[in-house]
Amino acid sequence: MAQKMNIVCVTGTREKLQMAAMIASVAAATGDEVSVFLSMNALPYFLKGHTQDAPVEGELGTLMAQEKGVPSFKVLFQQAVELGDAKLLPCSMAMDIMKITHDDFDPEVGPATGLTRFLSDAEGGQMLTF
């Protein structure tokens, strides 16, 4: 059964971004309606030309960074959008603080979204935070 899966990405570390991207891509490709709210230190990774080399938190992150065969979190988020119609929603507050507009983001990123809108759309679904 399709369900609503809401993912809040706020931490800019490799492990958290990777786990969020894995869940988003698999859930979206399985038919879930996936929305990913991007804010705080996770948001800059979705800016055009920004480094994808997120700092690691610990042992697993270090191992993942060394392995060639681990799909990058950016590719997984793109696949969530392309293969499963996931939405990547940048937090409008964080965009104001960073003084950026929608044009500054990679093409897979959706419209600027406020918390009120995100929470109201998320009603009744699952909510995961990374």
Partner 1 sequence: MSDSKIVDARDTFCPGPLMELIRNMKQSNVGDTLELLSTDEGSGADVPEWVNKVGHEILSNEKIDGVWHIKIRKAK
CB atoms within 10 A of CB 93: 14
Closest separation in Å from C-beta 2 to partner 1: 11
Q: How far is residue 93 CA from its own chain's centroid? A: 16
Backbone phi, psi, residue 16, to 5°:
-70, -45
Residue 65 contacts partner 1 per CB under 8 A: no
Burial of 49-66, coded b for 16+ CB within 10 Å and e otherwise, reads eeeeebebeeeebeebee
Least distance CB 75 / partner 1 (angstroms): 8
> Would you count residue 83 as binding partner 1 (CB under 8 A)?
yes
Residue list 1-60, contact with partner 1 (CB under 8 A): 22, 25-26, 29-31
Nearer to partner 1, 25 or 39 (CB): 25
Interacting residue ranges for partner 1, rule: CB under 8 A: 22, 25-26, 29-31, 67-71, 76, 79, 83
